Amino acid sequence: MLKLNALVAGSTGYIGSQLIKILVKHKYINIKYLCGNSSVGKKISFFEKSLSNKKLPKIIKFNKRLLKDVDIIFTALPNGEAQDISKHLNKNNTLIDLAADFRLEKKIDYQKWYKKEHRAVRLIKKSIYSLPEINRNEIKKYNIISSPGCYPTSILLPLIPLFDKNLVKVKNVIVDSKSGYSGAGRNVHKKYKSKNLYESLSAYGLGFHRHNAEIDQQLKKFTKKKIEVSFTPHLTPMFRGILSTIYLDLEKNVTPKKVIKLLSNYYKREKFVKILKFNTFISTNDVINTNNCLISVCKSKFKNKIIILSAIDNLIKGGAGQAVQSLNNKYKFPETTGLI
């Protein structure tokens, strides 16, 4: 069986390691190179014990000459580094970035939210923001694929269909999201050394978290509406998982039953998005180690409001799994390949 050769840059981080765990199961992928900086010369099993019995290359430093030997480049790197790699791509390469380098469509927005100049501006228009359940038919046209952030994935999947079909009001949308600390990367303990990660809950990025830009941009792009979203993320004392609680005002004559019917029809053919029965309580435990997004429409004490619960695994559906889903769509592999 002919396989595509893949390079994983940023292979030792939480998402990088999760990506490798998926790719070793993918029957159309051969992992040719694993790249890192401080980890050069080590085996990936040093960072991820579950990969100890897998035949994988040792970690090397990235060099642009490696690109001629691979078809796919996955970048799970700090923001900005995929931009530098993108400038050396050849016509046979596909870059799938799991960071934020190509998520925003305007260079001025990238500078505003990430406090740095974009170093590959001409390539922004040649990239696609890939939310497979929403725009999978467009993915195959692009060689630079940007995977959504974990929080936005949990938020956009339930909201885009509802705003598109005018079932909920565009104002006073409140999103309260809670994530496992793995979302902050392996250096989370250094970054939050003053906090007790295992016994405390912390709000951060109030009103100005970087994912605000991504959420606003994609809602406007896919629905053609300007939507007022108040988004607050929280870091929780668990390793992985995201639960987003979304508060919405219904449009006139719209009932929760109509909302569930729309979402159920919209996602009825999807393997990874599951719409639950009305008022079903869900937890992150329901999605851990899966590429699923569970969505539950719940009642509010106010007649014209609803509460939506959306749960994903931030490292899979919010990261590595969704990236592989995009890979499968790009190359017309069965979408579930490597993911179930």
- Using DSSP's 3-state secondary structure scheme, residue 328 falls into helix
Dist CA 96 CA 328 (whole Å): 12
CB 37 within 8 A of CB 12: no
> Which listed residue (35, 150, 293, 298) is catalytic?
150
Give buried/exposed letters for 210-235 (b at 16+ CB in 10 A, else e): bbbbbbbbbbeebbeeebebebebeb
The H or E element spanning position 20 is helix 14-23
CA-to-CA dists, residue 260 to 257, 295, 307, angstroms:
5, 10, 12
The 3 state secondary structure assigned to 226-246 is CCCEEEEEEEECCCCCEEEEE
Provide the residue count of the chain: 340
Beta bridge partners of 244: 177, 310
- Residues contacting residue 90 through CB under 8 Å, at least 6 positions apart: 67, 68
- Using DSSP's 3-state secondary structure scheme, residue 180 falls into strand
DSSP 8-state code for residue 281: -
Q: What are phi and psi of 243, to 5 degrees?
A: -125, 115
CA-to-CA dists, residue 335 to 23, 157, 291, 338, 339, angstroms:
13, 17, 11, 9, 8
| 150 has catalytic annotation | yes
- Residues noted as catalytic: 150
